[in-house]
Amino acid sequence: MISLTLVPTATWYLVLAAVLFSIGTFGVLVRRNPLVMFMCIELMLNAVNLTFVALARELNDINGQTIVFFVMVVAAAEVVVGLGIIVSIMRNRSALTADDLAELKG
């Protein structure tokens, strides 16, 4: 398991990323404030970035880092749009949680 020299191998990073991802998922499922849910999504994205970078390091391939670059760009765009939507919805109603936006029901 943990050796005395504590050289972090790629596996460690990957496991960390996995845990981070799960925590993010849990947050999305449990929290009701839309903004906090969004933050948890950011957590998940970061976990993914971490995975890519670790694998790029491991496989000695620059493409992993390229992908991360693009992921960051798109994540930024997505945050912008998402927050815009949240703002426009929550402007008219106050004290809104995710559960109140249940109009698309069957």
Partner 1 sequence: MVLLGAVGVIVRKHPVHAALSLVLTLFGVAVLFVSQEAHFLAAVQVIVYAGAIVVLFLFVIMLLGVDRVENLRTEPLTAQRPLAIITCLGLVGVLVAAIVNGSGVLNERGEGIKLPDLQNGPDANTVQLAESIFSKYVVAFEVTSVLLVIAVVGTVLLTRKTKSSSGGQTK
Partner 2 sequence: MLNLIWFIPLLPLAGAILNLILGRKLGDPRSGWVATIATGTSFLVTVLVYFEMLGLEAEERSHVEVLFSWLPVGSLQVDFALLADPLSIVMALFITGISTLIHLYAIGYMHGDAKFSKFFLYLNLFVFSMLMLVMGENLLVTFLGWEGVGACSYFLISFWHTRNSAAVAGKKAFVTNRIGDFGVMTAMFLAFSAVGSLSYGAINEAAHAGELASVTATAIAMLLFVGACGKSAQLPLYLWLPDAMEGPTPVSALIHAATMVTSGVFLMTRMNPVLHISYDWAPTVIAVVGAATALYAATVAVAQNDIKKVLAYSTVSQLGFMFLAIGSGAYVAAIFHMITHAFFKALLFLGSGSVIHGMHHEQDMRRMGALRKVMPVTGFTFIIGWLAIAGVPPFAGFWSKDEILLYVYANNRGLYVVGLVTALLTAYYMTRQVIMVFYGKARWNDNSAEHGAHGEITPHESPRVMLIPLIVLSVLSILGGAMQLPFSKDLHFLEHWLAPVVEESEAYIGKSWAYQNKYLLLLVAIVVAVSGILISISVYAKSKFKVIEPKILEQAWKYDHAVSRVVGGPGAATFNLIAWIDANIVDGIVNGVGELIRSVAGSVRRVQSGFVRTYALLISFGAVAILAWFLLRGVLL
Task: Provide the binding-site residues for partner 2, judged by CB under 8 A.
Answer: 25, 28-29, 32, 98-99, 101-106
Min CB(105)–partner 2 separation in Å? 3
Q: Encoding tokens for residue 38?
A: 């969004």
Which option in partner 1, partner 2, none does residue 104 bind, with CB closer than 5 to 8 A by kind? Answer: partner 2
| No. of helices (H) and no. of strands (E), the chain | 3, 0
- Cα 88 to its chain centre, rounded Å, is 23
Residue 54 near partner 1 by CB under 8 A: yes
Tokens of 7: 């050289």
Nearest approach in angstroms of CB 31 to partner 1 is 7
CB of residue 102 to partner 2, shortest distance in Å: 3
Helix (H) or strand (E) holding 84: helix 63-92
